[in-house]
Structure 1
Amino acid sequence: MKTFDKQPIDGILGLAFPTIAVDGVTPPFFNAVEQGLVDQPIFTVFLEHVGGSPFNVNADLDQDNVYGGVYTYGGLDTTNCGPVLAYQPLSSATYYQFKVNARASTNLYSSFILILFQLDGVASNTYSSNKGWQAISDTGTSLLAAPTSIASSIAQANGATVSNSGNKIEIFFL
């Protein structure tokens, strides 16, 4: 892929549903499930920031044998991710899309942030929804789509730079 030709990465690991896979190829994880190579048809993703950003020219990326996360196929990673508190059914079989319920702004921290990011001390007292909203958990993109007040709270809690641009905000972690 041209997108990755100058980056210190090889590409994106295909965890997408077969319905959106490039060229109709069966993604590796679905292939492993079909062949009975995994104990359970689930995977766990633990993301951890190590070192600098590959998009920051001043970053120290020369870190051998330093791992930035773990993918666990066929089971739960209880070492890094802790116990599963609840399962949320997917609302779309095209993406890992699910409904987030938030009855009041005081519940927002536990209803949204912990499910996706497990960030400490991030909360927003300005957004509330009686109906909830749809969210997508996607390890193949750096995009985070959220209501402006939520995205701003995440950025502020992590010392990021925020830039307003039309109907969206851009958050830079450098």
Structure 2
Amino acid sequence: MSVVAALQYYGSVSIGDPPQAFTACFDTGSADLWVPSTACQTDGCTDHQQFVQSRSTSFNGSNPANFLIEYGSGIVAGSVAFDTMRVGDPVITIQHQGFGLADAATSAFVAASCDGLFGLAFPGLSKLAVLPPFFSMLKEGAVDWGGFSLWLNPNTRSATAPAGELIFGGADVNRYAGQIRYHPNQGARYWALNLSGAKVGGKSVGNLSSTGALLDSGTSLIFTSDADAAALNNAIGGVKYWAETGLYNVTGGCSKISSLPTIIFTLDGTDYPLDPEDYVLQIPEDNPRLCISGILGGANREYIVLGDTFLRKYYSIYAANADGSNARIGLGAAVAQ
């Protein structure tokens, strides 16, 4: 996997026969695979690789259904098609995989590091009404084990180390330390865990509206409701809310990071701490004067969204049966490289 500014993690996927190569952002918070089509002439598509259906001998776009997907960063719309998909090394091949051919994408996708998106969530979340790629792998027996694992390198400053690693059908014991603790997945659409509380500096933060935590590799930071974000950041102290930006800036600049407290999220009864070096961002990375809390508002009141800030700290494993039953999430301490 590759990364841009520790914000978007992406890798390679090909569609069609012969294969047409794309970069795709791997997203545990959505369920669909889509790439731009040549019919899309908006800037969100033309700045990226586009799928040419006439070049694929295995393309099936008969009786296409339309789709529209709204993300936090923009909207994508188009039609549903089927073709051969290849991903990974060694290559996993899925015949007749459903995917989206985007013929419109908002300008927010112009700056995206990836051409399209590779959703890893459950079929019930699919806006295309097709089986997501990972569940196609399970149905067809294309992987040796019914799960995938995600490692996001905690070392975000190395220019030579790998940014991350996604393994279908297994895990890499060298990417985590200690044991993996498994928890039952909550719900049938998202990869999510029960959130039983949060502590800042050892003290409980009361009256949080969020009762669940989504693990979302497609989200860079940690998002929650405005009220919960205010409660958590007020408990942190040493950060000040700027109404103009909606951000919580570290008072006194980046030299004060080490004085901030540890945050603990209790997931399914297990504590998962984040040190200030984990949840504070320096913007840009070489500006010592501007650091912000990576806990922001604007999300649904029911869930806190634990994005890459959390997933760099913890190696994560996602497992389920082909029908989505017996879903569980494993977490362990990620090892930096």
**Counterparts of 2:177 and 2:193 in 1: how far apart (Å)?**
21
Q: How far apart are 1:99 and its partner, in Å?
A: 0.5
Q: How far apart are 1:25 and its partner, in Å?
A: 2.5
Question: Residue in 2 aligned with 1:86?
Answer: 181
Over residues 17-38 of structure 1, what are the superposed CA-to-partner deviations in whole Å (9 max), with x where a residue is unaligned? Answer: 1111231122111111111111
Over residues 85-143 of structure 1, what are the superposed CA-to-partner deviations in whole Å (9 max), with x where a residue is unaligned? Answer: 421111111101110334xx6xx4xxxxxxxxxxxxx85535257xx931010112225
Q: Tell me the percent identity.
A: 26
**Counterparts of 2:163 and 2:131 in 1: how far apart (Å)?**
27
TM, length-normalised to structure 1: 0.61
Question: Residue in 2 aligned with 1:168?
Answer: 297
Q: SS of the residue aligned with 1:91?
A: coil
Is the contact between residue 100 and residue 135 of structure 1 (CA under 8 Å) also seen in structure 2? yes
Match of 1:101 among 196, 200, 204: 196
Q: Which has the higher contact order (CA 8 A, sep 6+)?
A: 2
1:93 partner amino acid: A
Over residues 121-174 of structure 1, what are the superposed CA-to-partner deviations in whole Å (9 max), with x where a residue is unaligned? Answer: x85535257xx93101011222523443556566981343337xxx938xxx9x
Cα distance change on mapping 1:145 and 1:71 into 2, 3 Å? same
Higher Cα Rg, which structure = 2
Q: SS of the residue aligned with 1:87?
A: strand
Match of 2:205 among 120, 127, 140: 127
Question: Residue in 1 aligned with 2:152?
Answer: 47
**Counterparts of 2:213 and 2:168 in 1: how far apart (Å)?**
23
**Counterparts of 1:41 and 1:97 in 2: how far apart (Å)?**
17
Q: SS of the residue aligned with 2:137?
A: helix
Cα distance change on mapping 1:123 and 1:79 into 2, 3 Å? farther
Greater displacement, 25-34 / 93-102: 93-102
TM, length-normalised to structure 2: 0.34
1:72 partner amino acid: I
Is the contact between residue 50 and residue 67 of structure 1 (CA under 8 Å) also seen in structure 2? no
1:142 partner amino acid: S
**Counterparts of 1:69 and 1:123 in 2: how far apart (Å)?**
30
1:69 aligns with 2:164: yes
> What residue ranges of structure 2 are gaps of 5+ in the alignment?
1-35, 37-43, 45-107, 237-261, 264-273, 282-290, 299-308, 310-337
Q: How far apart are 1:80 and its partner, in Å?
A: 0.6
> What residue ranges of structure 1 are gaps of 5+ in the alignment?
53-62, 109-121
The structure with the largest helix share of the pair is 1
Over residues 68-87 of structure 1, what are the superposed CA-to-partner deviations in whole Å (9 max), with x where a residue is unaligned? Answer: 00011112222113354421
Is the contact between residue 41 and residue 74 of structure 1 (CA under 8 Å) also seen in structure 2? yes
Question: Residue in 1 aligned with 2:327?
Answer: none
1:136 aligns with 2:183: no
Cα distance change on mapping 1:73 and 1:123 into 2, 3 Å? farther
**Counterparts of 2:138 and 2:172 in 1: how far apart (Å)?**
18
Cα distance change on mapping 1:87 and 1:123 into 2, 3 Å? farther
The structure with the largest strand share of the pair is 2
Question: Residue in 2 aligned with 1:22?
Answer: 127
